Chains A and B, each alone.
Chain A
Amino acid sequence: MTSSRTTIGWQKILYRKQAFPDNYSGGDAQFLKELRKNVSVVHYDYKSAVYGCMNFLTHLDTLTMYFVLFLNILHSNWSPNILYTVFVSTIALYLFFCKFLAVVVANSKEHARTIVTLFLFAYAFTPVIRTLTTSISTDTIYSTSIITAILSCLFHDYGVKAPVVSYPTSVSSGLSSAIFLLSRLEEDTPTLLLLVIAFTLHAYGAEFRNRMFHVYPVASSLIFTVLSSFSVYCISSFSIELSVFWALLHVFILFVCPLILILKQTGKCTIHGPWDEAVPIKSIN
């Protein structure tokens, strides 16, 4: 009965009055004909999964290096000159990005305005930030800072379009983590430089790293290797156990996690059909 009526001409449209009840959807055969499986699933191979993990670990390593840098400056293990070096290398990386990586041609006037604003306000905020938490204990500040840094990592953009990725949340929590840390420092100049470095790292790090892995994958993996071994070395000066754990974590995330993904993704089964909510067709850029 239903199939014969379907052939008479039930159409999946709302703008015309049809001789069917409102909840009619074409009968069982018609309904299940539109069932599809794994429409939007991307199948990763092992190599691309490892590169993705490398991208993630690069961010973790840069954050760790930032913490290490801060601790060494705080305990005066390293001379403050190293901050100038890091700062100058940030500028060099910026120029490199503009020359080789940027997708759109850089708007130099806008960039100059951003840099001037950033420096002026960072300079104005530095004394405030430095004395912000003098009455709060250092342990509280460190734990808050680490929690916000982890939060920032959760929302960070690792080159994968996921709903959890949120640029404002990531930048804000990363920057607040840096500000918590910086309120422990005693002098203005290191605070200013570290603040600017932290902001650059959180606001522009994602874009730079993703483009870098996209354009120069081999060079990036070399840089990643150097960075991760250096971070393991730096952590070992604070605690050997932690550095061993850090190295093991690297191995686990870099090699074991992609393997788990490859093994598990064959079992993936999502069904799509007329019962799904409507999705507007996205224009392809």
Chain B
Amino acid sequence: MNWITEKSVLIRTVEAKLLLMRTFSFTRLLALDVAISLYIWNVWAPDWNDNVDSFWKQTSHVADNLNGTINWLRDNPAGLKLNTPVNETLAWFFSYHIYLWTTFIGFLRYDVFYRYVTNSLVFGLSTFSSMIYDLSQIFFLHFNCFDAYATKLCYLCYYTLTVLWSLVRGKKHNPLRERMDTITLDTRQQFLATSLFVILLFILPTVFVYFVVFRSLRLAVSAIQTVIYFFATWPFQIFALQKYLVRKYSGKPIAEETSDSPAT
């Protein structure tokens, strides 16, 4: 439960608003907030269904483009020397996960859901934005997963490769003394190290390309999310942060003037 309160921007923002309800500047801000949201309501409300449709169209575009990128990677674009079997396997793996993602967002396609989002405009732009943000976190959950898989795989390959490269030269890292030691492997270990090194060396570019694709996908999504986050938190949370939320969410002590006041 605590985890949800920490993650959900909506809950945090509402909390912040409640805190600032008494101050005059907050009432002004709230009025501005609601005014903007009513304007947006006015512009969007008449053809809201069209907007939802076009949103879904864009979503399926994203899925199509992702599948297209993976198909593009399948036939060694731009002279990249990708390893065919590994490429096929990764392409299959990730296109299956994209399929899973499209199925997942199919479940989100409820009318009620969007009516709630629309109606939240009544509570002001920031409430609307924070709802959108929370929704987008659920919506793009799988993109983080893609990135995590690709990163883990790439890092594993890279780390193994660095270790094997020193083994191939007859060296090993000594963590106790933070230096490279000479090591004499017996022949079968040497065979394994060398074969694995050469194999990984040729596999690494392929894994790296997938890493780049999914990392940039995640960065693009988080760029959009940052903009929404700004609108969701901008006026209210910044004020509230100084007064109350710092203590609650980061575990830091209360601001200095409050701790000083009993002493003086």
Q: Are these two chains actual partners, yes or no?
A: yes
Q: Does residue A146 face the partner (Cβ distance < 8 Å to B)?
A: no
Whether B168 and A168, one on each chain, are in contact in the complex, defined by CB atoms closer than 8 angstroms, is: yes
The size class of the interface chain B forms with chain A is: 20 to 34
Chain A CB within 10 Å, residue with most, of B82, B168, B169, B198: B198
| A110 CA / B82 CA spacing, docked (Å) | 39
B-contacting 9-mer, from A58-66, A131-139, A231-239: A131-139
Give the secondary structure class of A's interface: helix
Bound state CA distance, A93 and B188, in angstroms?
A: 19
Quick check: is B25 within 8 A (CB to CB) of the other chain? Answer: no
Given the complex of chains A and B, what is the CA–CA distance between A176 and B198 in angstroms?
A: 6
A125 CB-CB contact with B under 8 Å: yes
B59 in contact (CB, < 8 A): no
The interface residues of chain B lying within 8 Å CB-to-CB of A171 are 187, 190, 194
CA distance A168 to B85 in the complex (A): 30
The answer to whether B199 has its CB under 8 Å from any CB of chain A is yes
Judge whether A199 and B191 touch: CB under 8 Å: yes
Are the CB atoms of A132 and B198 closer together than 8 Å?
yes
Assuming the contacts A168-B170, A169-B170, A172-B194, asked whether A136 and B186 have C-beta atoms less than 8 A apart, the reply is no
Within 8 A of A (CB), among B222-259: none
Could you say which residues of chain B place their CB within 8 Å of the CB of A134?
Answer: 83-84
Closest chain B residue to A168, Cβ basis: B170
Chain A 154-172 interface residues, beta-carbon cutoff 8 Å to B: 166-169, 171-172
Q: Are A172 and B190 neighbours in the complex by a CB distance under 8 Å?
A: yes
Q: Which of chain B's residues has its CB closest to A114's CB? A: B188
Which residues 115-164 of A have a CB within 8 angstroms of B? 117-118, 121-122, 125, 128-129, 131-136
Contact surface of B with A, Cβ cutoff 8 Å? 76, 81-85, 167-170, 184-188, 190-195, 197-199, 202
What 3 pairs across the A-B complex have the smallest Cβ distances? A168-B170, A172-B168, A172-B194
